[in-house]
Amino acid sequence: MRIAIVGGGIAALAAARRLERLLPRGDIVLVERERRLGGKLLTERVGGFVVEGAPDSFLSRKERGIGLCTELGLGGELIARRPGMGGTFVRRGGELHPLPEGLSGMIPTHLEALSGSGLLSPAGRERVAAEIDLPPAPPGADESIAAFITRRFGDEAYRMLVEPIMTGIFGGNGDRLSLAATFPTLRELELAHGSVIRGLLAQPSPGGTEPPFLTLRPGLATLASRVVEQLHRTQLLVGRRAVALRCRGGGYLLELDGGDTLPADAAVLALPAHVTAEVVAGLDGGLAAAHAEIPHASSAVVTLAYRAEAVGHPLDGYGYVVPRSERTDVLACTWTSSKWEGRAPEGSVLVRVYAGRSGSRDVATESDASLVTLATEELDLIGIGGQPVLVRIHRWPRGMPQYVLGHQERVDRIDAALAGFPGLAVAGAAYHGVGIPDCIASGEGAAESVARTLHAVAR
């Protein structure tokens, strides 16, 4: 039996790896339009610097990140953020305000620490404290992150505290992002405990000793390259674009650019939702429409290195996030050499500026000069100036799926449509989570779905 996998990111690679184990006689072909595999897992090593082109870490509490690293023999390469660096800040104007202790996700639970942070006015802090006595709203329709946080904690807490953290994760607009698809636990806590703060305080202490964020010492691209190294029966067709997927007999026919075709008994599409919509347009209109309704935001990552003596800030933390109210395309700045060991040679610092807000201009279309200016003007605000000794720019046009209101309903429609096409599965960041462990789990789940179908056919 032949299985076609379309896509070359970590979801597609995880699907191929799992299928090799589930179908020892399967003929697996992976098609990727780029010549490089790994998708957003992109690491460059230049002059002693380690530059991540997109994500720089993953959440340890989601098991398939650590799980896959361990299975690949990379457990010894996992590293945590440098301890004792002072945490993360929020920038307001040219001042950096530390995020208060006691944050559970985005939500403040340590009200005394919040009082000392300077992020909220006295009235804003009082409004947060009042959340514990607010009655819960009755069950109803999907609610945006902005609406929920404002309703429970007040507008100031949303704008100055939650919004910049949330945007740093999703790059999206909280007025449009679905709470049910992004942070469903918050609504569950409100309904179960009558208060989000009360519910969070009632949660048991998390088990395990792993730090919250992990990365790989050589860089995250090592995760993708190690998967590829351990694929033994997967044919890799790189530099080829899938044009369309159609039914053929009891299976499928994948049309490639150049007029070539690839018959397959099953297929996994691990692509951005808008690309999947194009590929399945001739297969099923409803499946294509549901995918086309998932919007994607563009972003750019500008990484700069400086001589340490040119930096007028101690960089005693991991970096900072920027509220939308600052009216800039910049979402966050990571002090990479402070956050992770081994990212810059002695006497140098490495920082990266993450830009691109959903609903604003498409930063991925901006010139290199424009993006460097955006980044350096941002860094000037905190005392980092002078001529950078290294500049790297990575653009991600329509690279971040947005879980806007109604997202779960769209995913349900996708699942219902897929039920009519045995042996077809989708995977990736567009459905149930945008993080690396989410994408790994998504690819492995798609592989298991396909394998169940093929085993049933074989019987």
Domains and CATH numbers, the chain: 2-37+231-294+403-458 (3.50.50.60), 99-201 (1.10.3110.10), 297-401 (3.90.660.20)
Name the residue with tokens 């690819």.
443
What does the DSSP assignment read for 268-327? EE-S-HHHHHHHTTTT-HHHHHHHHTS-EEEEEEEEEEEEGGGB-S---SSEEE--GGG-
Confidence (pLDDT) at 127: 94
Name the residue with tokens 């049309």.
255
Q: What is the pTM of this model?
A: 0.94
Name the residue with tokens 């309703």.
151
User: Taking the CB of residue 438, how many other CB atoms lie within 10 A of it?
Assistant: 21
Confidence (pLDDT) at 113: 76
> From residue 60, how far is each of 138, 208, 213 by CA, in Å?
34, 10, 6
Predicted confidence pLDDT, tens digits, the chain (459 residues): 999 999 999 999 999 999 999 999 999 999 999 999 999 999 999 999 999 999 999 999 999 999 999 999 999 999 999 987 778 999 998 889 888 877 777 888 887 777 777 888 999 999 999 999 999 998 888 999 999 999 999 999 999 999 999 888 888 899 999 999 999 999 999 999 999 999 998 988 766 677 889 999 999 999 999 999 999 999 999 999 999 999 998 899 999 999 999 999 999 999 999 999 999 999 999 999 999 999 999 999 999 999 998 898 899 999 999 999 899 999 999 999 999 999 999 999 999 999 998 888 999 999 999 999 999 999 999 888 889 999 999 999 999 999 999 999 999 999 999 999 999 999 999 999 999 999 999 999 999 999 999 987 665
C-alpha span between 456 and 448 (Å, rounded)? 12
Confidence (pLDDT) at 351: 97
- Which tokens in the block code for residue 48? 């002693």
C-alpha span between 417 and 422 (Å, rounded)? 10
> From residue 384, how far is each of 164, 168, 315, 328, 349 by CA, in Å?
21, 21, 10, 18, 10
- Which tokens in the block code for residue 47? 């002059």
- Which tokens in the block code for residue 85? 């660096």
- Which tokens in the block code for residue 418? 């897929």
C-alpha span between 382 and 94 (Å, rounded)? 6
Residues 6+ positions from 244 with CB-CB distance below 8 Å: 254, 255, 278, 279, 280, 281, 282, 283
- Which tokens in the block code for residue 423? 């042996």
Q: Is 160 helix (H, G, I), strand (E, B) or coil?
A: helix
Q: Is 219 helix (H, G, I), strand (E, B) or coil?
A: coil
Whether residue 226 contacts residue 74, with contact meaning beta carbons closer than 8 Å, is answered with yes
Strands (E), 336-414: 348-355, 390-401
115-153 residues labelled b (16+ CB within 10 A) or e (exposed): eebebbeeebbebbeebbebebeeeeebbbbbbbbbebb
Whether residue 279 contacts residue 245, with contact meaning beta carbons closer than 8 Å, is answered with yes
Confidence (pLDDT) at 458: 61
